[in-house]
Amino acid sequence: MIQTKGLTGAQTLLRVLGKMGVERIFASPGSEWSPVWEALAEPGVEGMPIYMSTRHEEIAVGMASGYAKATGKLPAVMIHTTVGALHATMAMRGALHEQVPMVVFAGESIGFGEDEGPDVGGQWGSHLGDMGGPAKLVDHTVKWSFGVNTKSILPATIQRACRLAMAGPRGPVFVSLAMEHLFDTMTKDVPSDLGAAPLATADPKGIEELADMLAGANYPVIIAEDAGRTIKAVECLVEIAELLGCPVVETRSTGAINIPRTHPLHCGYDPKEVLKGSDVIFLLAVIAPWYPASVTPSQGAKVAMLDENPHRAELPYYGYQTDLCLAGEIESSLEHLLAALKKRVSKGDASRSRRAEELKAKNDARRKQWREEAQGLSKQKPMDTRWVAHEISQVLPADAMVVEETITHRLAVHRYLDQLKPGSFFAGCIGGLGTGLATALGVKAANPKRPVICLIGDGSFNYDPAPAAFGAAQEHNLPFLTIMFNNQGYLSQKSGIPKYYPDGWAVKTKNFSGLHIVPCPEYSMIVKAFDGYGERVEEPGEVRKAVERGLKAIAAGQSALIDVRLKPVEETVSRGEV
């Protein structure tokens, strides 16, 4: 039992969160949270979460996402009612699609000043109220949404929200709490003090069937996107691949390092290329392995799927071939799969060893070619993305943690930052932009002693609440390095024009509407307003030195921004380089 009877709703909120393992609250709240601020000031209460103000709702949710990805722990978020909830929806939708757990709270009023007790303020009856309250506004962007409608259920509802966020498939949940209830005295205790139940391992019979498929295949292929969220899962996947002598290919949208990228069996980021001739395809925590969904790249192949959320109920369409579908927690399911394969596959099998050697030679040659391509661009000005990614990779510390929100430049980041260790790479966006800086902040909050680098495009940067991010970094002493890939436009949004209309007017006249971000501002000046270090780089030979200066700045406690000027997007499109 969690004792909450006799406490205020605000005291109850903090105590139940602490009991449920919440260590951090990321907040961008409004005045409705005064009761919670008072409860936070109460001395001598053990197990209270650390409260971190973030200045913007999208920063709060993005920080929670980065923190959860980096720790596996459940964060809480406090945001303002209605308008704050709407600010947060893009980031919450991203957490939903990425299966990132968090419990998000917004305030509201249900009495509008008509009840006895503290005056909640006239703003609730004019500008802040909406039909159905904030829980209704956001219900399509979260896993579960509810507005607490009576104080007797508030304590147990907070606990339930934490459990739902951590239950498979994990994701964000949303609870609106009336200001009246936060002031009021609770009449109930929480009946149980049990935390969230551990995620279930996939069905044992299904794992045995999967082991039979993989062991009996002539050419199995593993595609992985988000399996590498725990180190143990990566270790299991590596051992499985080595036992089978089979390729592991990631996708362009991978959000974690699923297998070390210099591993002999890592086969790049183009599944269609690797799948040719395969007879068994194992999709491991993958959303979209190829396109269109209904056309499996290897005709006649069997497709097996293992995911925490294989049915993807949040997506309107999911038409991939699935001959075996397993739902379960990735790490424990892989452990069981590895044990089952060891009973079926002899270590050092000659045919598998030959295949592994062939894959190693091919993969080593591919990585060598990528490096030579980048090095061949060392004198080109304006700079090419590949050269910049190569130079960054040469100076990253061994313990660096990287968050990526580049879109256009993502493939170069994957290819050239190949020394990153498992557990040190995180996607900063999913279907939308604006959370890269915040995700980096959350990763830094989880790992304050490690260097955190956010790789971001100038287009992405314009969607991020940069002043709030740099301000929160300064306030909480969480310095991180931002490296901007600045091509002065939106290549990802406009590359379709020459593709669909190669002889059209836009190409002929070089008139691409909405393409540019010009005049290009001095982005490096923004971080200086928050006592940070900023620098613009235009010379290819200065990239490495500038990154080193940025790393030195964050080691000294300053956030830093390195604005790397690339080949302008107009020039890129006009030459057909899309």
| Same domain, residue pair 229 and 320 | yes
Same domain, 232 and 164: no
pLDDT of residue 407: 86
Q: Per-residue pLDDT for 578 more than 70?
A: no
Phi, psi dihedrals of residue 78, rounded to the nearest 5°: -120, 125
Kindly report the length of the chain. 578
Per-residue pLDDT of 400-437, as tens digits, reads 999 999 988 999 999 999 999 999 999 987 778 899 99
CATH number at residue 274: 3.40.50.1220
Where in the sequence is the domain holding 504, given as residue range(s)?
A: 376-574
**How confident is the model at residue 325, as a pLDDT?**
97
Q: Do 392 and 326 fall within a single domain?
A: no
Contact 79, 135 (CB under 8 A): no
Q: Do residues 145 and 256 share a domain?
A: no
The domain boundary residue, chosen from 342, 365, 388: 365
Give, in order, the Cα–Cα distances in Å from 432 to each of 38, 94, 203, 402. 36, 7, 34, 19
Q: Quick check: 35 pLDDT over 50?
A: yes
Query: In this structure, is residue 106 part of a structural domain?
Result: yes
Helix (H, G, I), strand (E, B) or coil at 319: coil
pLDDT at 253: 92
- 400: in domain: yes
Considering the domain boundaries, does residue 193 fall inside one? no
CA distance 100 to 123: 33
pLDDT at 494 over 80: no
Average pLDDT on 86-95 reads 95
d(C-alpha 284, C-alpha 174), whole Å: 28
In a domain, 190, yes or no: no
Total number of domains constituting the chain: 3
Q: Are residues 335 and 380 in the same domain?
A: no
Residues 50 and 173 in one domain: yes
Q: Could you tell me the sign of the dihedral formed by the alpha carbons of 355, 361, 364, 365, in that order?
A: negative
pLDDT the model gives residue 481? 98
| Residue (of 254, 191, 219) closest to 418 by Cα position | 254
177 and 238, same domain (yes or no): no
Nearest to 134, CA basis, from 178, 90, 69, 99: 178
pLDDT average, residue stretch 480-503: 86
State the CATH number of the domain containing residue 380: 3.40.50.970
pLDDT tens, residue by residue, 67-83: 999 999 999 999 999 99
**pLDDT-derived band at 30, boundaries 50, 70, 90:** confident
**Cα–Cα distances in Å, from 289 out to 250, 276, 281, 308, 409?**
9, 14, 10, 16, 19
pLDDT value of position 572: 58
Give the pLDDT band of residue 56 (cuts 50, 70, 90): very high
- Segment 536-545 shows an average pLDDT of 98
All residues at 6 or more sequence positions from 211 whose CB lies less than 8 Å from its CB, including other chains: 337, 340, 341, 343, 344
Average pLDDT over every residue of 471-497: 90
Q: Which of 330, 365, 400 is the last residue of a domain?
A: 365
- 514: alpha, beta or left? (left if phi > 0; alpha if psi -120 to 50): left
**Could you give the 3-state DSSP secondary structure of residue 115?**
coil
- Classify residue 1: in a domain, yes or no: no
The residues facing 454 across adjacent strands are 403, 482
Structural contact between residues 476 and 55, judged by C-beta atoms closer than 8 angstroms: no
Q: How far is CA 62 from CA 17, 360, 438, 484, in A?
A: 19, 38, 5, 19
Query: Measured between alpha carbons, how far is 149 from 132 in angstroms, rounded to an integer?
Result: 11
* 401 shares a domain with 308: no
Q: Are residues 569 and 442 in the same domain?
A: yes
Report if residue 191 sits inside a domain.
Answer: no
Q: Which two tokens stand for residue 422?
A: 């498992």
Q: Which of the listed residues 306, 332, 365 is the one where a domain comes to its end?
A: 365
| pLDDT exceeds cutoff 50 at 235 | yes
pLDDT tens readout for residues 268-310: 999 999 999 999 999 999 999 999 999 999 999 999 999 999 9
Question: Are 482 and 437 within 8 A, CB to CB?
Answer: yes
Over residues 150-165, mean pLDDT: 96
384 shares a domain with 361: no
Q: For residue 259, is pLDDT > 90?
A: yes
> Per-residue pLDDT tens for 350-393?
899 999 999 999 999 999 999 999 999 999 999 999 999 999 99
pLDDT at site 576 = 43
Task: Identify whether 37 is part of a domain.
Answer: yes
The distance of Cα 406 from the centroid of its chain, to the nearest Å, equals 13
Q: How far apart are CA 108 and CA 10, in angstroms?
A: 13
Sign of CA dihedral 341, 347, 352, 355: positive
Q: Does 326 share its domain with 441?
A: no
| Pair (350, 421) in one structural domain | no
Give the mean pLDDT of 206-233: 97
CA distances from residue 58 to 29, 414, 465, 517 in whole angstroms, order as listed:
12, 26, 8, 23
User: Could you tell me if residue 432 is inside a domain?
Assistant: yes
The rounded mean pLDDT for the chain is 93
